[in-house]
Amino acid sequence: MDGGTSTGKTTFCLQELGVHAKKNNKKVLYICNRLGLVDQIISEISELGLEDTFIVYTYQTMQQRLIDGISIHKADYIIADECHYFYSDSFNGYTDLSFEYLINESKNAVLVMMSATAKRLFLWLENNFLLDPCNKYVIQPDYGNVEKLVFYRRNDCFDIINNILSEKTDSKILFFCNSATRMLEMYDFYKEFGDFYCSRSTENTALRRICNPYAIHDERFDARILFTTSAADNGINLKDTKIRYVFSELLDVDGLIQSFGRKRFVSDDDTCTFYVREYTVCELQGIINLNKVDMIAGKKYLSNPTDFIEEYKNDRAFYSRYSIFYPGYRDKDEFDIMLNHMKYHKCLMDDEVYTQIKNFGYSETILNVLGKELAAKAEFFDVHAEDKDLFLIYLESIEGKKLFAQDRLILKQKICDLGCKIKYTGINTFNGVLKDLYPNYKCSFHNKSPITCRYYEEKRSHLENGEKNPEFNHKYWLLE
């Protein structure tokens, strides 16, 4: 099922196929790629009273069972949701295992593969005689509720977001970051307005510290802005008319399309503006080079697997250098280097996309993929802020906010990043730096009330959500 986001694929599988299976005493194995989507599917299955009909896995659980030699539940119908996972999941090298298992099981069960972004996978299946074209169903997406599509450069987003936040409305922003570094950068600027959501299994301790695993609930989020990663780009539904702006900096074309699909329109007057980060060839060059490295290694492996394994089997850095291989263990101590054929195939496809970007530019290539309906609504944010002082933007973002000890450490680090080596962290030191860097800047740091001459001190014992305030009785500064 090749259907755009919000075209009813999941609804069909649960309410039509699921009900049919229950009536005929059949079992359905439902597989998806994110824990958040698993929670959503299980909730919908429970509402329909189909708990005894469905078994729900993640692909990762299936792969671990295969590696450990644990049997997979048998079923009459198998639904492979978000099936672009096989070649696009950057967190997992074992996607070949689940793909090969499902292809083999399709001889004994009805296999339903569905995705909004698997056109290249479906074409590959057809070309390799694994998919009968008569069994391929295409449902075109409807972008009628999209007001416009705007391309912006890296630092333009700050002006755009600040303008939105200054509006006297309750509109919300959904922002997809392309890396942990970008997410942490956004935390520095917008932690007071935003919530942050990432994969529950992330190994990045800095992300785990700032992220809220419950930020998304009841198909909505509460903050003015939700910053997330590709953890929320698949299957998660957000049905909230207040979400009026969706930003996506996900570089992968499939991820970009998926991220736009998270906003589900609930009525004709529920509209949204999509923002896409425009990348230059220079910004993409590192990704292009890594893709070339994988392509060359994949071709070398295919030409002579035995010699390739012999050359690299003792290379401890091998799996960190190449993303398309995984260890195929023969026993506890011995293993063969295995090529993930689906990921290798994606390398070849991505190389074609990168060639188009080099020839025609990023925005034109993306618009060609998104289609004529969205291309007709495209425009470009024309005041680029590439050379805008990010530290000044940061200062503007903290004006009037309480700056506790941890906030002042962040401020010190940002000053050090500018090349200013400061030994002390007193208020006079910080104000001196401001005066030297920005003699015309209107604000300065204060730690005492101009009326009572007493130090600013946090007097709220509890936060708005009822939790204890960790900064209670702590002193703070104001930039005003």
pTM: 0.71
Tokens 């600040």 correspond to: 162
Given this model, what pLDDT does residue 243 score?
95
CATH of the domain at 251: 3.40.50.300
Let me know if residue 363 belongs to a domain: no
d(CA 234, CA 88): 11
**Domain-terminating residue out of 277, 307, 336:** 277
Let me know if residue 339 belongs to a domain: no
Given this model, what pLDDT does residue 219 score?
87
Q: Are residues 123 and 188 in the same domain?
A: no
Let me know if residue 357 belongs to a domain: no
Q: Are residues 238 and 202 in the same domain?
A: yes
Q: Are residues 127 and 158 in the same domain?
A: no
Let me know if residue 200 belongs to a domain: yes
Given this model, what pLDDT does residue 55 score?
95
For residue 445, how many C-alpha atoms fall within 13 Å in the half-sphere facing its CB?
22
Q: Are residues 135 and 150 in the same domain?
A: no
Q: Are residues 246 and 131 in the same domain?
A: no
Let me know if residue 199 belongs to a domain: yes
69-106 pLDDT, tens digit per residue, is: 899 999 999 999 988 888 877 567 788 889 999 999 99
**Domain-terminating residue out of 229, 249, 277:** 277
Q: Are residues 92 and 56 in the same domain?
A: yes
| E strand or H helix that includes residue 110 | strand 110-114
Let me know if residue 298 belongs to a domain: no
Q: Are residues 133 and 189 in the same domain?
A: no
- E strands along 389-472, which residues? 445-446
| Alpha-carbon distance values, 292 to 48, 265, 296, 323, 352 (Å) | 48, 39, 6, 11, 11
Q: Are residues 268 and 151 in the same domain?
A: yes
Q: Are residues 155 and 207 in the same domain?
A: yes
Let me know if residue 396 belongs to a domain: yes
How many domains does the chain divide into? 3
Let me know if residue 348 belongs to a domain: no
Query: What residues in the chain have per-residue pLDDT under 70?
Result: 90-91, 231-235, 329-335, 382-389, 419, 421, 423-424
Q: Are residues 108 and 170 in the same domain?
A: no
Q: Are residues 33 and 82 in the same domain?
A: yes
Q: Are residues 7 and 22 in the same domain?
A: yes
Given this model, what pLDDT does residue 40 score?
86
HEC secondary structure over 271-300? CEEEEEECCCHHHHHHHHHHHHHHHHHHHH
Given this model, what pLDDT does residue 386 score?
44
- What is the extent of the structural domain holding 435? 390-479
Nearest-CA neighbor of 187 among 397, 374, 413? 397
**Domain-terminating residue out of 214, 245, 277:** 277
